[in-house]
Chain A
């Protein structure tokens, strides 16, 4: 029966041009979205390289200037930009702290259009005010990106629905079900076989279309074979989930139109309603404190601090007697006071800043727990994580930058308080930023759990339909 079914299905699908149509649609969708993903990654890489080149060029100029000054020559640059001053180095020659793209970055835009991929932290200014958002048209952010993840999460289920909503009901409606009923096979077995075959064909088409797309786009998927296999297994189990729903709906609901409505209702539920409701609930449960009010707080603090700058500097120097010992001139200027005050402001603001981080983390943890409420969320989040563009990845990058900003500052402030010049000799010692990607854990569990959910759904359908199969299937017409 299986082999007969297999031959018949293939003939049916080919004759109705389903396979041909699906191949073209899939190729077009994957092609366009893959191209978009690739362009985005290329743009990101180019921007980082350009920034690094610029720093290199500026560094050469800085070294030349230092060389001239150390040789006692006259230089034409403004006094306060001379790189002998450690604060000038810290402000005018910042390093690039860049978040390099991961090898799978092309599959999901994630938060990549919202956040920037490199910043240049300076010695002055506040860490809290470091702007990590990218200069993107908000319209673009509102509409989102047509990436592979969109095709997989939103569109693939619709193709599956169109491909499988009427497998049982069409037989019923054309009257061929009565013929089938005379065959020695249970109805759920037969539906299962039919669906498995369709799943098989769709999987083959999806994999082939993906490989062709990657081949045309010259993305070296083979070099990241394990990641690619994980990606494929997530996609296939997600597809299987929708086939399981189709199985249940085919068995439980009646006519083709009713099946289609039920499946589309499920699509709206899983892809649109559950995510937006969960988002609303997560922001209500763990609301972000107002950034506007944070500004107020920061301003109030700074106004207070500005009035007591001298006292703050005195206190600071008392806490750091090493500076008083090493420096014989004891000159104190604007930056001495400024840096000491900044340190104080930073310490005072720290608890407020941490609330933001904590709230975001709580939201994220909540989402992690409830993402299983909808496989669409699970898959989107997993693809984002694979691509290295999830909220967690940017959070990880932000934290590294804040640490680096502190390293940068603490390398240069001793020069300031010792009233010591920055020299050519010190240049190689300047701290460099090294980006460490977020270690990904447990992603391989996603397809396993999805598979578990799917098996459960199939099992429910299989057992429950056995009971009322004769009654409903054959007497309804």
Chain B
């Protein structure tokens, strides 16, 4: 029964001109989007390599200079692109790709691509993730909306019933006829993506495990849609109505709920504006130790403390340059302030994430989207991770510079200049994103919600028997 249903349904699908056209369009668009993404990816990575080397050259060849001048002159941390961003671009377009690292200040990543595009960009891009997340579910709807309703409409249901058939075998046949074309399509796409990725030279290490996880993720997402569409088709009487209902489910879960979620999240846990944030940081900074200001109360307290520790009565007798020491202490204090304020942002973000996860109960799109971005290293969490790494590097750089200043010069000697060869001793900024296992363990809740959806949608299917 199952096999016969499967063969019959598949034949019907492949005879249908609209299905063939739709399949063709999806495959064509997918091909185009992969090609565009590959170009984009190679381009960005080339720029990344050039920028990174050029910036390091500028840093290394500063010549003789006061270490603190060099600290103000600063350097840049650039964010690389990772292989799987070829499949899911995630939020990459909306976050900056370079962070300026300077003394006294933690800067945010600058220059997001979206800011350099027209309003049209907000409709979305023709990328593989757009095809995977939006278009293939639509294809499932097109293939499956009349799976059961046509039996009603053509009167074949009565014939079937008279045969004494087993309902679940029949449903299974229909399920396979709908799922197997989609599975084939997805498998081919991922194999092609894998081949492209493993053949790109020099650009990061590509991990097949991540790709397989992504493949499983999308397969689960499509199974949920297959189940939902079959359920809708079984519970409605007319094909037209089945189609409209299926489409409403699609638009609610893929477009309406994510947008509504973003509004609710912002309403409940708002971010400060950029200027407010800067003003708050400034307020805190004013209250603490300022490395450049020897006359403040905090600076005097620090002086007394250090003098007592070393048992001397004048800062001239200290074995190091007190100016530089104070500078480093000020730096540490400022880093703490930034840490506090950025932690607040991170906190808001975590709370917002909970809103998204809560609303994922109504939309299988949300957990899939978040998981997919996380595996591809194009999600917001990875961006935070990168920004934190850059900040740690900035703090280490400041210490490296101030220590040299303190060790090699005497108090009051602002004219001190470090050797031209000194700058090369600063370690290079290296960043590697979290491993797959870490990403997965961070996303257990998303995985759980998605599994619930998967099981729940199968449970719905079991109701079809009573057709």
Contact = CB atoms under 8 A, between A and B. Distances in A.
Interface string B237-278: 011101110011001000110111111011100111111110
A111 B274 contact: no
Which secondary structure dominates chain B's binding surface? helix
Contact of A143 (B62, B259, B275): B259
Interface in A48-78: 50-51, 54, 78
Contact of A139 (B51, B112, B248, B380): B380
B110 A129 contact: yes
B118 A364 contact: yes
A287 to B, nearest CB: 9
Contact of B123 (A110, A145, A264, A276): A276
Contacts of B73: 302, 306
Contacts of B97: 291-292
A293 B53 CA distance: 11
B459 to A, nearest CB: 27
A133 B115 contact: yes
B112 A133 contact: yes
A169 B241 CA distance: 13
A229 B22 CA distance: 40
A285 to B, nearest CB: 12
B66 to A, nearest CB: 12
A138 interface: yes
Given A146-B259, A296-B50, A137 B271 contact: yes
Contacts of B115: 114-115, 132-133
Interface stretch (A252-260, A413-421, A455-463): A252-260
B326 interface: no
A139 B118 contact: no
A377 B120 CA distance: 8
Contact of A272 (B134, B240, B290): B134
Contacts of A204: none
B397 to A, nearest CB: 16
Nearest to A144: B259
B425 interface: no
B55 A295 contact: yes
Contact of A260 (B122, B243, B383): B243
B98 interface: yes
A32 interface: yes
A47 B58 contact: no
Contact of A367 (B118, B345, B356): B118
Contacts of A116: 273-275
A14 B258 CA distance: 33
Nearest to B114: A114
Interface string A261-278: 100100010011101111
A257 B146 CA distance: 8
Nearest to B90: A142
Interface stretch (B124-132, B190-198, B201-209, B328-336): B124-132
B1 interface: no
A39 B410 CA distance: 57
Contact of B243 (A135, A257, A381): A257
Nearest to B138: A268
Contact of B117 (A139, A161, A283): A283
A380 interface: yes
B124 to A, nearest CB: 5
B47 interface: yes
B36 to A, nearest CB: 6
A140 interface: yes
Nearest to B270: A43
A120 B427 CA distance: 36
Contact of B262 (A146, A380, A390): A146
B54 interface: yes
Given A36-B263, A259-B240, A276-B125, A135 B274 contact: yes
Interface stretch (A2-10, A150-158, A193-201, A243-251): A150-158
A138 B94 contact: yes
A295 B221 CA distance: 41
Given A116-B275, A146-B256, A261 B95 contact: no
A291 B95 CA distance: 13
B116 A288 contact: yes
B98 A380 contact: no
A390 B244 CA distance: 33
Contacts of A306: 73
Contacts of B239: 255-257, 260
A292 B51 contact: yes
A195 B130 CA distance: 34
Given A78-B296, A135-B108, A141 B91 contact: yes
A356 interface: yes
Interface string A106-119: 00001100111111
A255 B146 CA distance: 13
B447 interface: no
Contacts, number: 234
Interface string B201-221: 000000000000000000000
A165 B380 contact: no
Contacts of B47: 290, 292-293
B124 A276 contact: yes
Contacts of B311: none
A464 interface: no
B259 A150 contact: yes
A282 interface: yes
A279 interface: yes
Contacts of A138: 91, 94-95, 112, 380, 383
B58 A134 contact: no
A300 B50 CA distance: 13
B240 A166 contact: yes
A276 B89 CA distance: 14
Contacts of B276: 47, 50-51
A256 B238 contact: yes
Interface in A268-323: 268, 271-273, 275-280, 282-284, 288, 290-293, 295-296, 299-300, 302-303, 306-307
A50 to B, nearest CB: 7
Nearest to B125: A276
A345 to B, nearest CB: 13
Interface in A141-187: 141-146, 150, 154-155, 158, 161-162, 165-166, 169
B123 A137 contact: no
Contacts of B262: 139-140, 143-146
Contacts of B248: 158, 162
Contacts of A256: 238-240
Pick from B50, B130, B146, B259 the residue with the most CB of A within 10 Å: B259
B78 interface: yes
Nearest to A141: B94
A51 B275 contact: yes
A342 interface: no
A280 B126 contact: yes
B417 to A, nearest CB: 13
A162 B244 CA distance: 7
A291 B261 contact: no
A363 interface: yes
B121 interface: yes
Pick from A43, A155, A169, A272 the residue with the most CB of B within 10 Å: A272
Contact of A390 (B51, B93, B119): B119
A292 B113 CA distance: 11
A142 B378 CA distance: 12
Pick from A136, A165, A261 the residue with the most CB of B within 10 Å: A261
A174 B207 CA distance: 58
A272 B256 contact: no
Contacts of A143: 258-259, 261-262
Given A278-B120, A295-B76, 16 more contacts: A135-B272, A135-B345, A138-B383, A150-B259, A161-B244, A283-B117, A283-B121, A290-B51, A291-B116, A293-B51, A295-B51, A303-B62, A360-B117, A367-B118, A377-B120, A390-B119
Chain A to chain B: the 4 pairs with minimum beta-carbon distance, closest first: A275-B123, A257-B239, A256-B240, A138-B94
8 contacts: A141-B91, A158-B247, A166-B240, A280-B126, A291-B98, A293-B47, A296-B50, A380-B119
